[in-house]
């Protein structure tokens, strides 16, 4: 013999399967709490209020039990605040970082350990209460919101403060007229000469740098030294680098660096559009990133570029433009760009390159 709960299945509070699934674990809203408040003042029973709200009587009874004190009658706003606080308290009690674990983690943070190092060491020692580095970051953020100082123990001053901080430069360039998705198909498919990518190779902070440009189809590279990473220097160097090829130059693509903010001025002077990649998307200009990596063989990071000899730019261009590339079928960028064939093993011009220069 099967026993059924009539109040839950066939009674006045019965719900269809769809309604029951939709209302499971649904919190009471503030409007519903106001209706409960008004109904109790009218002397209605819990069952009557439940029918009015299409809720189970136990839901109404539990709400009144939890949020009514002996001397103060039920109030909607107070009940909502108490329910919210209970959820917060439950979250605090269920967190992994508390007690001895919290004490140890905070001690290691103040000693300069990163959250990832702490998490990894806990995992290596197979400790109970192991925590993910993301959990530690969230603990630091909560501490910061309460006025704590834990975030200052982190290298970047806090997870939330550095990872989600929006770049002002990125915001300015986000509204540019020429976005990457509007770039010509010939540039995207690398079927036409004259579509350039542009970037800077930095040296010592605050010192000189190298402005680099590469043709997307041929990988032909141009290098110009600039005295400082500024918009005026970058614009002047770009115009100088492209001067011999103005008749075939069609577009320029670069990142959102501060040195590339004079796009309107450059467009007016060259008569071509300047396109911007999405922020933090170096793969959208992979050719120039690859070229910069090759240049780093000869100009390591933090090297004072201003101390290199005068012929550095020419030596870099000769070396890169006469080096066979697999992507070009082992032709050189010079051969593809100028559509001529060079005998690689006998051409003496190759000896200008950095591989043969003892001065650098």
Residues 6+ apart with CB under 8 A from 74: 36, 37, 40, 64, 67, 68
For residue 68, the model assigns a pLDDT of 78
CA atoms within 13 A on the CB side of 243: 8
For residue 177, the model assigns a pLDDT of 64
For residue 19, the model assigns a pLDDT of 40
Which tens digits make up the pLDDT trace of 102-147?
888 888 888 888 888 888 888 777 666 678 888 888 888 888 877 7
Distance CA 322, CA 92 (A): 64
Distance CA 314, CA 323 (A): 14
Residues of the chain with pLDDT under 50: 1-24, 158-161, 163-164, 346-353, 356-360
Domain boundaries along the sequence of the chain: 28-94, 99-163, 172-356
The CATH code of the domain at 172-356 is 3.30.420.10
For residue 232, the model assigns a pLDDT of 92
Distance CA 90, CA 31 (A): 24
Please say whether the beta carbons of 250 and 192 come within 8 A.
Answer: yes
Length of the chain: 360
Distance CA 256, CA 253 (A): 10
Distance CA 164, CA 328 (A): 40
Please say whether the beta carbons of 214 and 297 come within 8 A.
Answer: no
In this structure, the strands spanning 195-202 and 209-215 are antiparallel
Which tens digits make up the pLDDT trace of 296-341?
988 998 889 999 988 899 999 998 998 888 899 888 999 999 987 6
Distance CA 130, CA 112 (A): 19
For residue 185, the model assigns a pLDDT of 93
**What does each C-alpha distance from 209 to 102, 136, 358 come to in angstroms?**
46, 39, 22
């Amino acid at each position: 013999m099967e026993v059924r709960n009539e109040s839950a299945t066939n009674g006045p509070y019965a719900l269809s399967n769809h309604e029951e699934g939709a209302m499971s674990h649904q919190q009471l809203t503030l409007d519903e709490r106001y209706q409960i408040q008004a109904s109790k003042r009218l002397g209605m029973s819990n069952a009557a209020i439940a029918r009015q709200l299409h809720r189970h009587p136990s839901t109404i009874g539990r709400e009144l039990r939890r949020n009514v004190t002996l001397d103060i009658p039920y109030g909607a706003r107070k009940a909502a605040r108490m329910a919210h606080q209970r959820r917060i308290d439950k979250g605090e009690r269920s967190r992994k970082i508390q007690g001895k674990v919290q004490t140890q983690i905070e001690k290691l943070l103040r000693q300069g350990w990163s959250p990832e190092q702490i998490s990894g060491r806990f995992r290596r020692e197979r400790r109970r209460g192991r925590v993910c580095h993301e959990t530690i970051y969230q603990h630091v953020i909560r501490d910061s919101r309460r006025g704590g100082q834990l975030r200052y123990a982190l290298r970047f001053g806090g997870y939330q403060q550095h990872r989600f901080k929006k770049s002002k430069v990125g915001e300015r360039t986000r509204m540019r007229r020429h976005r990457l998705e509007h770039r010509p198909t010939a540039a995207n498919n690398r079927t036409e000469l004259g579509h350039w990518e542009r970037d800077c190779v930095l040296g010592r902070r605050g010192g000189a740098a190298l402005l680099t440009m590469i043709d997307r189809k041929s990988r032909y590279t141009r290098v110009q030294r600039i005295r400082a990473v500024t918009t005026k220097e970058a614009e002047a160097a770009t115009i100088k680098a492209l001067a011999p090829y103005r008749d075939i130059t069609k577009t320029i693509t670069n990142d959102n660096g501060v040195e590339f903010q004079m796009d309107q001025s450059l467009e007016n002077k060259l008569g071509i559009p300047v396109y911007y990649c999405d922020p933090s998307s170096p793969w959208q200009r992979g050719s120039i990133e690859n070229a910069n990596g090759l240049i780093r063989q000869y100009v390591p990071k933090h090297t004072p570029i201003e101390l290199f000899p005068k012929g550095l730019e020419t030596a870099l261009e000769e070396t890169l433009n006469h080096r066979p590339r697999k992507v070009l079928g082992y032709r050189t960028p010079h051969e593809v760009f100028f559509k001529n064939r060079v005998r690689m093993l006998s051409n003496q011009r190759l000896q200008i390159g950095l591989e043969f220069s003892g001065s650098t």
